């Protein structure tokens, strides 16, 4: 069982992703914006982070960059989970350090596959 941090400012998205993560047998931690997500990643050192992009305070691109460049958290894979579906968004997200990029709405099986790949590595 992995500890997965879910960062999303939408309570319904947070609850839906949490339900999937727990159904897959993992422990879900949550944060409601990018700044809180960075703090939670540093404090909790989860096995993986699922990060929304469009959020107040610190957007998901900025939070991903912060997590991926911090010596204490750079080993944690970040998956961007967002409605931003342009190729430029995907490229920019990966350049910030994300290991995968999923657009909402997504299939539960797609998320499960990505989690399986990244948690195995």
Dmax (CA) for the chain in angstroms is 34
Q: How many percent of the chain have pLDDT more than 90?
A: 96
Residues 19-43: what's their mean pLDDT?
A: 97
Task: Give all strands (DSSP E) within the chain, no chain letters.
Answer: 3-7, 27-31, 48-51, 78-82, 100-103
- pLDDT tens-place string over residues 58-90: 999 999 999 999 999 999 999 999 999 999 999
Q: Select the CATH number that applies to the domain covering 8-107 from these four: 3.90.1300.10, 2.40.50.100, 3.40.50.2300, 3.40.50.11440.
A: 3.40.50.2300
- Decide if pLDDT at 32 tops 70: yes
Distance from C-alpha of 81 to C-alpha of 17, rounded to nearest angstrom: 10
Domain boundaries, the chain: 8-107
Q: What are phi and psi of 30, to 5 degrees?
A: -135, 155
Distance between CA 34 and CA 13 in Å, rounded?
15
What's the rounded Cα separation, in Å, for the pair 110 and 121? 17
């Amino acid at each position: 069982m992995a500890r997965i941090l879910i960062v999303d400012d939408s309570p319904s998205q947070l609850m839906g992703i949490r339900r999937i993560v727990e159904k897959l047998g993992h422990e879900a931690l949550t944060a409601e914006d990018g700044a809180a997500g960075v703090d939670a990643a540093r404090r909790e050192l989860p096995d993986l982070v699922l990060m929304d992009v469009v959020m107040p305070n610190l957007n998901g691109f900025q939070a991903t960059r912060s997590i991926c460049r911090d010596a204490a958290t750079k080993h944690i894979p970040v998956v961007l989970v967002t409605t931003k579906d342009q190729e430029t968004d995907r490229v920019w997200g990966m350049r910030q350090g994300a290991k995968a990029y999923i657009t909402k709405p997504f299939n539960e099986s797609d998320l499960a596959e990505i989690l399986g790949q990244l948690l195995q590595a």
